[in-house]
Chains A and B, each alone.
Chain A
Amino acid sequence: MSALTFTLKTAPAPVQRIDCSPLTSDALAEKSLNDIAAIKLQTGNTTVRADSLFDISGDDVTNIVFANSSDKLDFVGHSMTTGKITVEGNVGAYFGIFMYGGELEITGDTGIYTACEMKSGQIKINGNAGDFVGGARPGRKNGMAGGTVIITGNSGDRTGDHMRRGMILIEGNAGDYCAARMVSGTIAVLGDTGAHLGYAMKRGTVLLTQTPSRGISANFNDCGSHTLAFLPLLFASFAKLDSKFAQLESFSRVQRYAGDLAGIGMGEILVKI
């Protein structure tokens, strides 16, 4: 069996955004290639057949590839519970929204709301991620509630907004308002972080390997330097990941900052020392 491949047609290039949520292993199970070709996809204010947008080949619905992808493709991996989706190129908004399991990987960049309200599974972005990674939909209070997101590049602003559980691992830099309104979970950043780190953070952990160039907010109090026993376990859990975090030398000595003290102040920023 070969991977079920959706190659985005370049002529005509898509003008409107395309809702790819019907193209997951769960939704395509036991469908023939003809059935898949006839699936109606929302694009702009109309619906069109999948084969009018994509050249479709292959037959393994548990291994889906979006080739020649563009940032017009939204909702890739929507609610998926199993299988693997690989995106070659960039992708649009809501990559992995409501994801319950399986694996998503992209060679390029993602748009806004990657891993939005994700529950489980793993997303690997071999590029940069847009704003609101692991966040909640506008007006919602509960963001990502489980799973792992790996970003080899940089993440946008408000990474982990309203995040409740799970892990976001950023090998590059995080934008402004990282961990804002975070409820729980873990965000680790190997690079720098932007302004207002941990703004309105309730609980959860931000783990940094370097002191942020913009400093720590005055709403976070310095709790001193400590050896924390859970960190070796956390690093051990990184070992199986295809990420720089797997090669990261384990450390347990950190400077601990607690905040945001304008709220309940139970969050923490841990900086390697």
Chain B
Amino acid sequence: MIINGVTIDPTFAEAFPMKGTRIIITAHNTKWAMISAQAFTGFATSVIACGCEAGIERELDPSETPDGRHGVAVLIFAMGGKGLAKQVETRAGQCVLTSPTSALFAGVEGETEMALGQNLRFFGDGFQISKMIDGKRYWRIPVMDGEFLTQEKTGVVSSVGGGNFLVLAQSQAQALVACEAAIEQMRKIPNVIMPFPGGVVRSGSKVGSKYKALNASTNDAFCPTLKGQTKSDLSPEVESVMEIVIDGLSKEDIDKAMRVGIQAVCDLGAEHGIRRISAGNYGGKLGPFHFHLQEIMA
């Protein structure tokens, strides 16, 4: 398949089941809601070392938030429910509770529930106040700037993590421009995040390493400087490869995000140095979710 001079490889991205949730952070204004959300989603690019993958889904108007203030929707994913609960609790405690004027709410109803502010209430040292409103429990925790309001629980959704595609370009600058264009379009799709810095990964990994201590290492087949040293997957004119990783609340959400992202890259086309779109997989043996590039773009 070739779109606008860009070859779409007959391959697929391999993704894994994850547990995810959406939380809503509100604050006095968008600036402070965003600061809190950025802190919450910091160091959350990959479960390999961060314990979770998190990102900002979008800004919310006051009409969309439970308390009628400006807000930000955040998605966070982990490999299991317990891990997710731990990450949400520690991040909410250190990054949202601490953030001036913030409040924290569940943003999704799931098959099950987990603690959101349930344990943060103990920070109130006995002065915390519970309020049941419309069947949902909230905690009012006295803090130095007033009161921190948090919903007790949030929903847990069976999600998908690790959807991806690779952008192969003639130069590093062209790969970056293409990825930026893709991310701009993909951020318009609900229920997904691209957890890496700016949504783009320049250090895609393969499973395993020559070093026993590591379970992942550089994806040498796609490293352009190794074309003559390893079994490369790159043609001579490709000088840079960048990857976009997508986590979503469902396979369909990732499908949509990949489609608009790849289309945005292809719209730039060969005349902007884009040569191929490929994807990372492990032979289909590890992850149950397969995103076939040519089917998605058909």
Binding site for B on A (CB under 8 A): 146, 165-166, 184, 186, 203, 205, 226-230, 232-234, 236-237, 250, 266, 268
CB distance from B275 to the nearest CB of A (A): 52
Give Cα A229 to B134, complex, Å: 16
B237 within 8 A of A: no
- Whether A232 contacts B67 by the Cβ 8 Å rule is yes
A233 close to B67 (CB less than 8 A): yes
Q: How far is the CB of A43 from chain B (nearest CB, A)?
A: 38
What residues on B are CB-neighbors of A250 within 8 Å?
68
Question: For residue B151, which residue of chain A has the nearest CB?
Answer: A233
Chain A proximity of B116: nearest CB distance (Å) = 15
Chain B residues with CB below 8 A from A268, complex form = 129
Once the chains bind, are A226 and B146 in contact (CB under 8 Å)?
Answer: yes
With A203-B129, A237-B133 as known contacts, state yes or no: A232 contacts B146, CB within 8 Å: no
Q: Which residues on A sit within 8 Å (CB–CB) of B149? A: 229-230, 233
- Check B68–A232 contact: CB distance below 8 A: yes
Chain A residue with Cβ nearest B102: A229
Q: 5 more A-B contacts (CB under 8 A) besides A205-B129, A230-B133, A230-B147? A: A165-B132, A203-B129, A226-B147, A230-B67, A230-B138
Q: Is the CB of B67 within 8 A of A229?
A: yes
Residues of B within 8 A of A165 (CB): 132
Closest to A146 in B: B132
In the complex, A227→B27 CA distance in Å? 13
Task: Give the chain A neighbours of B130 by CB distance below 8 A.
Answer: 184
Which residues in window 118-176 of B have CB below 8 A to A? 126-127, 129-134, 138, 140, 146-147, 149
Identity of the chain A residue whose Cβ is nearest the Cβ of B148 in the assembled complex: A229
Q: Check: B66 CB closer than 8 A to any chain A CB.
A: yes
A233 with B66: CB separation less than 8 A: yes
Closest 9 CB pairs of A and B: A229-B149, A237-B134, A237-B133, A232-B68, A232-B67, A229-B103, A233-B133, A230-B149, A230-B131
